[in-house]
Amino acid sequence: MRLTDCHNFGDFRRLAKKRLPSPVFHYIDGAADDEITYRRNTSSFDDVDLVPNVLAGVETVDMSVEVMGQKMDMPLYCAPTALQRLFHYEGERAVARAATKHGTMFGVSSLATVSVEEIEKLAPGPKMFQFYFHKDRGLNDALLERARAANFQVMALTVDTITGGNRERDLRTGFTSPPRITPASAISYALHPGWAWNYFTKEKFDMPHLSGHVSAGTNLAMSIGDYFGSMLDQSMNWDDAEKLCAKWNGQFALKGIMSVEDAKRAVDIGCTGIMVSNHGGRQLDGSRAPFDQLAEICDAVGDKIDVICEGGIQRGTHVLKALSVGAKACSGGRMYLYALAAAGQAGVERVLGNMRTEIERDMKLMGVTSLDQLSRANLRYR
Ligand SMILES: Cc1cc2nc3c(=O)[nH]c(=O)nc-3n(C[C@H](O)[C@H](O)[C@H](O)COP(=O)(O)O)c2cc1C
């Protein structure tokens, strides 16, 4: 199987599975507990049908959007994800270049493996910095100031990782950051010599935003669940979020909002966006899917704040359904991570190109020439 054989989410996932040692693959692919929420995130889109209009003159369509003040050429961007150089040696560099090529935003995690300073040079376009609120206040200040100095336009505070989700696949494989070599994982690394060669011979694994502050995750191998549990501040509350928003003094979003009540509070503290998200089903299993929850949140705050639907996106039609309900844009994680693992920058370029083609085709088939023509009138719930 080659990159040119990858036409959809499942194809990229299969190729990623072939290329990655199993602990790394399952870190991306897995979710919390019984993974019910993870599956529901995608299947929720199947409970709603699109009702197209025809004869609309659709030879040219415009899929550009403005989200939190950022102009994007397509309504889908790359959600911030940790540890990308473990998935492909180019890591965030590949994603930064591919997102820039497609004129879309990409998020850089606090737990990224390439620094914001380097990413700024690769990607002049819209960038979001994802903030984890650590116990170490010096680290928090440094994260904020580095992102500001590197001209990141959007800050997103993740609010759904107050403790680690129960990711049982990681418990079984023993996945840690950096990868700990155990007898079982050694076999898997040996069976993936291409990955192992790159990991052991290329630039040493690092999380440059943490260096000099904490050794967990870089010099001290730790599961991501344990990192959340021990390094992040569980006392984080609305006051902290409000202060951070004021300190950033720019485009600011809460990532991981699921209730109408919290969406309204996000508006009250001065946020300009929210990601309706359950962290890709990796935290609270049994929580509702973002798409299921989208309508009530858009009804409550959609005219005051940019609402982003995130989780389970695999198809152009998923994006059109979310935008019809009222989201401004969508973002995806695994969608581009499998492509990164499969083929680096070329993979991410291909998946974003495929999604762009799908969105354009689906807009034409829906009879719309711009995204603001989508509305709930085009949807029917089963
Ligand atoms: C491997 C992986 C790592 C992630 N790392 C982070 C992270 O560091 N910070 C964060 O806020 N969200 C992180 N997320 C969550 C994503 O930002 C996003 O919410 C999620 O992937 C959306 O679901 P999807 O993968 O079904 O598109 C991660 C997700 C995955 C799959």
Ligand 1 pocket test, pick from 130, 133, 282 with the greatest ligand atom count within 8 Å of Cβ, gives 282
pLDDT score for 241: 98
27 labeled binding residue: yes
Q: Does 279 qualify as catalytic in the annotation? A: yes
How far, in Å, are 87, 154, 278, 310 from residue 255 at the CA level? 23, 12, 9, 9
Domain limits at 53?
A: 3-381
Distance, CA 334 to ligand 1 centroid (Å)?
7
81 labeled binding residue: yes
pLDDT, tens digit only, all 382 positions of the chain: 899 999 999 999 999 999 999 999 999 999 999 999 999 999 999 999 999 999 999 999 999 999 999 999 999 999 999 999 999 999 999 999 999 999 999 999 999 999 999 999 999 999 999 999 999 999 999 999 999 999 999 999 999 999 999 999 999 999 999 888 888 788 888 899 999 999 989 999 999 999 888 888 777 888 888 899 889 999 999 999 999 999 999 999 999 999 999 999 999 999 999 999 999 999 999 999 999 999 999 999 999 999 999 999 999 999 999 999 999 999 999 999 999 999 999 999 999 999 999 999 999 999 999 999 999 999 999 9
Distance, CA 365 to ligand 1 centroid (Å)?
31
CB 58 within 8 A of CB 83: no
pLDDT digits (tens, 9 = 90+) for 178-193: 888 888 788 888 899 9
Distance, CA 81 to ligand 1 centroid (Å)?
5
Catalytic residue among 26, 134, 192, 279: 279
DSSP 200-232: HHSS----TTTTTT--BTTTB-B-HHHHHHHHB
What residue ranges line ligand 1, CB within 6 angstroms? 27-28, 41, 79-82, 109, 111, 130, 158, 255, 277, 279-280, 310-313, 332-335, 337
CATH code of 142's domain: 3.20.20.70
pLDDT score for 186: 86
Our count of domains for the chain comes to 1
Ligand 1 pocket test, pick from 40, 81, 176 with the greatest ligand atom count within 8 Å of Cβ, gives 81
Q: What is the pTM of this model?
A: 0.97
pLDDT digits (tens, 9 = 90+) for 204-228: 999 999 988 888 877 788 888 889 9
pLDDT score for 45: 98
Tokens found for residue 213: 């502050």
